[in-house]
Structure 1
Amino acid sequence: PREEYVEQAYFFRALRERMLQNMTAQELLPSLRDELLSTTQLPLAVDFMAGELRHLGLMAPALARLSHYFTPFQTFIVSEAEQPSGRFDLEIGLLILEHDAKLRADDASLAARFLFQFECITRNRLRYDPGLEALSRDPIYPPEWSEWILTVRRQIGLVEFADMIYVRSEYYLKEQVRRGRSGEPEKPVLFGEKEGKIAKANRRRDPLMMFAAFQRHLNYPAAPMLKPPDESAQIVPDLLRRVERLETRIKLLEEEQKGGIDLTKFYAPPQ
């Protein structure tokens, strides 16, 4: 139901924003639970998550055990964020889950949802194999979509992703008819004419360029990704150190002009 996804989007956003204030998930879950609509199933799910977090220190196992409520993709994102390597930040993971829940609440097209989820995996350099396997089990996708997602999983890196979209689009089918071939698709059409046209135009290009074109022309959502660290905070300390070094050099030059440098100031104290 839509209200479940609306509450999920709020939950993931509130959890992310409050964790940025140096509060732990273990502290936040009980209070967030009280803010959620009691007519939804999410408060019960959050209760279970809080218990698992106390015992295991992780949230992903709780999401996996609540597979009737949370999707495999949601579990995959949290699991990747909780990997010991720390390469994928939980802040970005929660932002992805918030956007994903909004897409579900807005009943976005299957093409828009898949391309968003796939771009999240690509841009954040998550593992393709378990990620696509999780997508194939997402209940929003009918059998023909799940079958195609598993095909992408097998062929990614061997076949161009743009080609895999193009040949399953209405645009490809219309081009076949124009060439005098059968208008009956061999496999179900999954993408519209516009998606197929953009995919064809981006063959032999970086897939990220294709995602950007989908966002420009079809208003598809962009995938959140980790921003590079802000180096501006380090500029002032660096400048101060440089000024100190310049002041030291100026003093040495002034002393040299006055008649010599007193080297005793640089001697180490006697042991």
Structure 2
Amino acid sequence: MLDQEEHVEQAHLFELLHEQAGEGFPIQDLLEQLRHEILATTRLPMAMEYLLTEVRHSGLLGPAMHQLSHYFTPFQTFLIDQSELDTGRFMMNTAFKVMQSEAEYRVAGTTPAGMFFYQFEVLCRNRLSYDLGLTAISSDPSYDSTWSSWILKLRAEIGLIDFADLVFLASDDYLRRLEKAGKEETGKGPFLFGEKEGRIAFANRRKDPLYLFSALQRHLGYPAVPKPTPIDETNELIPQMARRIERLEARIQLMEEERRQSLDITKFYEQNKHRLNYPE
């Protein structure tokens, strides 16, 4: 587990990378510039030096973050790996935004349940690999051995059993129902989630998991996952409108020449093509 000031500086770095990487700046230039803004008393500047060296060599951040597993969590490395896939749709600036929110949540104080719901919602919203993602989540230092074993077991059950049922069966609300019914709890559990999480999960059975995440955020204050920013198409519309206006002007000019009976169609012949001033 890192100190709080490390997470504060990580959140600041990921915020700057998210803002500027989305504008098309090369990642090596950003690391070169932003390393001077990070607090020198933390270990993040040294990690950035290593990342910068690797990016200059291979152009990728993922391999360097794997080597810095003592500083970056496996889930952070997993997000960067997914953003650098040629066949994926998960953008790097989205990964930086997710990592920024996660670091801010660690600064504010986390619970294993809150961290798990946040990280699992990231997989759901961005359609990332459950197998690789849950493996990375299980290695997070926020979880003890019981949590890690349950998360690894989840890889084989997700998709076959409703996620809300899995949460409910691992909650204190299910344990209370067993005790109320006089049934033994042998072979059940582990009971990792609280009673409120269990009730919310039971109320969202057979529904979209995103409804479950939303209810947990409303009632228990769990952090929300940043949603991808829609692409601004305004910059593309202006050149398109300019080309259309040019075509309209050319057509109006032809109609006026035809009306005055001064239209010379020979300029449209192949040998006179160079005389045309109209857009194609």
| TM-score range for the pair, normalised by the shorter chain length | 0.7 to 0.9
Pair 234,45 (structure 1): closer, same or farther in 2 beyond 3 Å: closer
Which ranges in structure 1 are unaligned for 5 or more consecutive residues? none
Amino acid paired to 1:30: E
CA spacing shift, 1:18–1:254, aligned 2, 3 Å: closer
Cα displacement (A) at 1:30: 3.1
Counterpart-to-counterpart distance in 2, 1:215 and 1:251: 61
Partner of 2:63: 61
SS of match in other structure, 2:87: coil
Query: Corresponding residue for 2:82?
Result: 80
For residue 240 of structure 1, report the CA deviation from its aligned partner. Answer: 5.6
Match of 2:153 among 151, 154, 163: 151
Counterpart residue number, 2:20: 18
User: Which 5+ residue runs of structure 2 have no aligned equivalent?
Assistant: 273-280
Cα distance between partner residues in 2 of 1:241 and 1:252? 17
Q: Secondary structure at the match of 2:191?
A: coil
> Normalization by structure 1: what TM-score?
0.87
Q: Give the counterpart of 2:31 among 13, 29, 32.
A: 29
For residues 139-186 of structure 1, the C-alpha deviation after alignment (integer angstroms, 9 at most, x for no partner) is 211011111111111111111111110111111122222323246783
Partners of 1:234 and 1:17 in 2: how far apart?
A: 20
CA RMSD between the two structures? 2.6
Residue in 2 that maps onto 1:221: 223
For 1:82-102, what per-residue CA distance to the aligned partner results, in whole angstroms no more than 9, with x for missing partners? 112251110000111111111
Shift in CA distance, 172/50, structure 1 to aligned 2, threshold 3 Å: same
Which position in structure 1 is the counterpart of 2:212? Answer: 210
Please say if residues 162 and 203 of structure 1, whose CA atoms lie closer than 8 Å, have aligned partners that are also in contact: yes
Q: Is this contact kept in 2: 1:173–1:185, CA < 8 A?
A: no
CA contact (8 A) 1:15 1:28 kept: yes
Question: 1:228 and 1:34, CA in 2 relative to 1: closer, same or farther beyond 3 A?
Answer: closer
Aligned match of 1:173: 175
Q: Which residue in 1 is equivalent to 2:101?
A: 99
Structure-2 separation of matches of 1:99 and 1:180: 43
Partner of 1:111: 113
Q: 2:41 aligns with which of 39, 51, 66?
A: 39
3-state SS in 1 of match to 2:271 = coil
* Counterpart in the other structure of 1:164: 166
Structure 2: distance between partners of 1:167 and 1:68:
33
SS of 2:11's equivalent in the other structure is: helix
Figure out how many residues of one structure are paired with residues of the other and give that number.
270
Q: Residues of 2 paired with 1:207 and 1:167: CA distance?
A: 16
In 2, distance between residues paired with 1:156 and 1:266?
Answer: 69
Q: Counterpart of 1:216 in structure 2: which amino acid? A: R
Task: Give the conservation status (yes or no) of the 8 Å contact 1:174–1:183.
Answer: no
SS of aligned partner of 1:209: helix
Q: Is the 8 A contact 2:54 2:60 kept in 1?
A: yes
Deviation, 1:37, is: 2.2
